[in-house]
Structures are given as C-alpha cells and as structure tokens.
C-alpha cells in the first residue's frame, strides 16, 4: 500500500504594511517585573535588544484590522496559488493563540473561531469542510499541518487549508522590553493527499509537550507598570529560561524527525525554523547538526526576523512564502526539495517536520 501523506500545493501570506522600527520604542517607559522603572536609557536597551534578537523592525497591523482580516487574505492567496476548487476543502484549520483582538480592547475573541470566520468570509459554503482553531503556542501552525497529515492518513481528507495568524501587537505590555520582539502576520498553505510512495509531502514528524514543569515559561499577566491598566493581561515570557529550554530540547526533536524520515541530514535543502530570536535559532540549528557531528551548511537556514519580528504561528509559513518567491538573498525553494520545519513555544511545546516540498 502506498504511503499516504499531505503535500503542500499552495502557499499564501499577508505581511502588514505598517513598519515599526526599533526607534519607535525610544519614548516608551520600560519597567522591570518588580514594577520599577529602568534607569538605563532606552537607546541602550534597544541596542542590547537588537544584538540579542537580531530584530531591526517589525510589522504591525493597522488600527482597524484584526487577526482574521490578515488570515482571510493569506488564505485566499494560498487557494489561488493551489488552483483547487475551494469547495473541495475538507478541513480549514487556523492556528492562533489570541484570536481577534481589537485595538485597545485586550479581549481575545474566539466566537466564532478564526477558522469559521475565514470560511465565512471566503464564501466557502460546503458544510463538510470542517473549520476549527488550534491553540498550541508558536508551534500551532506546524501542529495544524501535522494534524492535516494525520487526517489524510486516516482517509478523512483529501484537501485541507492550514492557516497561522497572530496579532501580537495587540497583547503586548507597553512597559515591557519584550514587547519589541512581537509582531503581526498571517501565512497559509493548501495541502492535498498524495499516495505516491516517492512523491512530495510530509515524511516524518516529532511533537512533544513539556507542560510539566515548563508550562509557566510563557503566560499572560498584568502590566509591569503598576499605574497602567491592571485589569488587562499581556503576553509575558521568561526569556532566559525559554532560551535554555529551546537549546536543550529542540535539536533532539529535530533529530528524531530526521532519523525517522529515511533521509540523511546532508539531503536537507533548507531548515525553516520559527522566527523567535536570531541567536537562539542559530544555536538550535548548530546543535542539531552537531548531533550528527557536522557543521551547519551556509545558507541552510533562511531568516526574516530582522525585518518582520516574531509573529508566532505565522513565522514559518510567511518565511516559506518569501523564500519561494525569491525575496531572500541566497535562498530558494523548489518542488521536491527536502526541507525541515521546526518550532518551539508556549506550552511548552516543540515540533519538527521533515518533508519533500
């Protein structure tokens, strides 16, 4: 029996047009976790931030937009790229962690689900196309892609849409230095069932959840500034502990997926890793290759975090779309290329996928 797998046949993305440079934060008042204002000049804070994360600017959505607005555009572009009849979709899966959050509201709106809003606004009337959301931290889009693959292996789907969308600019504390990391965006793919033994698609994957004891490394909490809206909750993270966790755990998950794929690490054309932190991502990939007693090849890992920031679930699909379109120097993506996708985030969750694009 042929090995059934999900193959990506269409990609689309939406990157907000509003560019927010690091200089945007020069007038912000930053506080520490104890509610004390930093004495360090913002120029120094921003300079250190850029050295660690690699971020020079990020994209934020417009004031009158919400996450589902971006998701609809990315989804339509993916559909157009795939060339399929939208009524043939069996699943519409949206990965998001905060849903729709209006400017100044700080309320996550998940009713109806973001996936349901996408289906409605694209006019997809087929009731057999099941729409639902996945909350899995930053690895949510990749986990949704894994789920689409499982549905196809189970004989429950032929086509699926997998969307990753987040508007993190709506849930950042304006008094937290980490607010500078986060960004907005949406990416989507269309996958189809491929039963060709040697055909393109997902070959292997690994997913793990370390909710105990690491569930509290990313969470929501009130503002660091005791005088700022203490009724709202903002995204919060223990950056140093996340860094250590990722370096200790992600390379092993990547290796497990690679070993199961039946291919050799030298066959990899690209590694698409969640754009969380430039130095952290570089170290993860280096450690992954060291597990095979090798050095990471030059240009193996495309990155766009320096210009787009960290848009959580949207980082991998938007990065893939940019590479496929030839928008990143020294990087390209061709059908049949062996690639790895990997992510880490709130939960704490990790996943890695090896596939032939």
In the prediction, which pLDDT does 105 show? 86
pLDDT at 229 over 50: yes
pLDDT tens, position by position, 128-167:
999 999 999 999 999 999 999 999 999 999 999 999 999 9
- pTM, two decimal places: 0.95
pLDDT tens, position by position, 84-133:
999 999 999 999 999 999 998 888 999 999 999 999 999 999 999 999 99
pLDDT at 169 over 80: yes
In the prediction, which pLDDT does 1 show? 40
Q: Taking residues 232-255, what's their average pLDDT? A: 95
pLDDT at 315 over 50: yes
Q: What is the largest CA-CA distance in the chain?
A: 66
pLDDT at 235 over 50: yes
Mean pLDDT of the chain: 96
Q: Which two tokens stand for residue 318?
A: 């938007």
Q: What are phi and psi of 40, to 5 degrees?
A: -65, 135
CA distance 315 to 311: 6
Q: Taking residues 264-273, what's their average pLDDT? A: 97
Q: Taking residues 304-332, what's their average pLDDT? A: 97
pLDDT at 2 over 70: no
Q: Taking residues 6-31, what's their average pLDDT? A: 97
Strands 184-194 and 5-14: antiparallel
Q: Where are the domains of the chain?
A: 5-194, 201-356
Contact 345, 138 (CB under 8 A): yes
Q: Which two tokens stand for residue 329?
A: 């120097």
CA distance 171 to 161: 26
pLDDT at 290 over 80: yes
Q: What CATH topology corresponds to 5-194?
A: Peroxisomal Thiolase; Chain A, domain 1 (3.40.47)
Q: Which CATH superfamily is domain 201-356 in?
A: Thiolase/Chalcone synthase (3.40.47.10)
Angle at 73 between CA 70 and CA 79, to 5 degrees: 140
Neighbours of 219 (CB within 10 A): 13
5-194 and 201-356 share one fold: yes
């Amino acid at each position: 029996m042929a090995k059934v797998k999900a193959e990506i046949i269409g990609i689309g993305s939406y990157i907000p047009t509003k560019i927010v440079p690091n200089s945007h934060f020069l007038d912000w008042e930053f506080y520490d976790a104890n509610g004390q204002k930093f004495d360090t000049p913002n120029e120094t804070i921003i300079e250190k931030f850029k050295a660690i994360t690699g971020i020079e600017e990020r994209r934020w959505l417009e004031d009158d937009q919400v996450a589902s607005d971006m998701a609809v555009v990315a989804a339509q572009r993916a559909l157009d790229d795939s060339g399929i009849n939208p009524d043939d979709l069996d699943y519409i899966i949206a990965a998001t962690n905060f849903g729709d959050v209006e400017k100044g509201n700080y309320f996550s709106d998940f009713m109806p689900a973001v996936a349901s809003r996408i289906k409605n606004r694209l006019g997809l009337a087929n009731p057999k196309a099941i729409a639902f959301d996945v909350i899995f931290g930053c690895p949510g889009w990749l986990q949704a892609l894994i789920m689409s693959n499982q549905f196809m292996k189970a004989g429950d789907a032929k086509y699926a849409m997998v969307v990753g969308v987040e508007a993190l600019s709506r849930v950042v504390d304006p008094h937290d230095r980490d607010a500078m990391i986060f960004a907005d965006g949406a990416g989507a793919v269309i996958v189809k069932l491929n039963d060709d033994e040697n055909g393109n698609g997902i070959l292997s994957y690994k997913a793990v959840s370390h909710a105990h004891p690491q569930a509290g490394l990313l969470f929501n909490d009130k503002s660091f500034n005791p005088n700022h809206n203490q009724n709202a909750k903002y995204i919060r993270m223990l950056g140093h502990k996340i860094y250590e966790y990722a370096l200790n755990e992600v390379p092993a998950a990547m290796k497990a997926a690679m070993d199961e794929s039946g291919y050799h690490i030298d066959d990899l054309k690209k590694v698409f890793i969640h754009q969380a932190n430039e130095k952290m991502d570089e170290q993860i990939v280096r450690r992954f290759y060291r597990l095979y007693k090798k050095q990471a090849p030059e240009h193996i890992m495309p990155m766009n975090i320096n210009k787009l920031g960290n848009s959580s679930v949207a980082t991998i699909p938007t990065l893939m779309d940019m590479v496929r379109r030839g928008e990143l120097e020294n990087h390209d993506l061709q059908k049949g290329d062996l690639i790895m996708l990997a992510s880490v985030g709130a939960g704490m969750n990790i996943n890695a996928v090896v596939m032939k694009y």
